[in-house]
Amino acid sequence: MHYQFLFFADDFIVTGVNNSGTVRVNMLSNLEALVNIFANSVEIISIGVGLVFILAGLRILKSQGTDVRKLGSAWCKARVGALLINAGLITPCAFNWIIASARDANLFN
């Protein structure tokens, strides 16, 4: 029994530090920050462009009375604007979900 304690005494000495896990976590956090900047930029741009499309559609509706082709174009622009705004609002959530699943799955370890 006494020899076992002497044999395991070396296990408590730390001879070196393995940095690979720390570096990978830091690289994942850098990637996460870059993706968040990209996602927020896409959100702002798509909301702005979507509002422009909706306002252009409303302007066409206001200026044209009964022309069916113009009314269809106006509603199409308004729908595209609404879709762009929805896509812009969903983009950061989707990217955060992907990054969180990659972080939890330990793909970078």
92 located within any domain:
yes
Is residue 94 a contact partner of residue 81, using CB atoms and an 8 Å limit?
no
The pLDDT, as a whole number, for residue 103 is: 75
Is residue 102 a contact partner of residue 108, using CB atoms and an 8 Å limit?
yes
54 located within any domain:
yes
Q: With H, G, I as helix, E, B as strand and everything else as coil, classify residue 51.
A: helix
pLDDT tens digits for 61-99? 777 766 667 777 888 899 999 999 999 999 999 998 988
pLDDT tens digits for 21-44? 555 556 777 888 889 999 999 999
Is residue 77 a contact partner of residue 54, using CB atoms and an 8 Å limit?
yes
12 located within any domain:
no
Which residue range(s) make up the domain with 53? 37-109
Count of domains observed in the chain:
1
24 located within any domain:
no
23 located within any domain:
no
Rounded (5°) CA angle 86-90-95? 155
The overall average pLDDT reported for the chain is 78
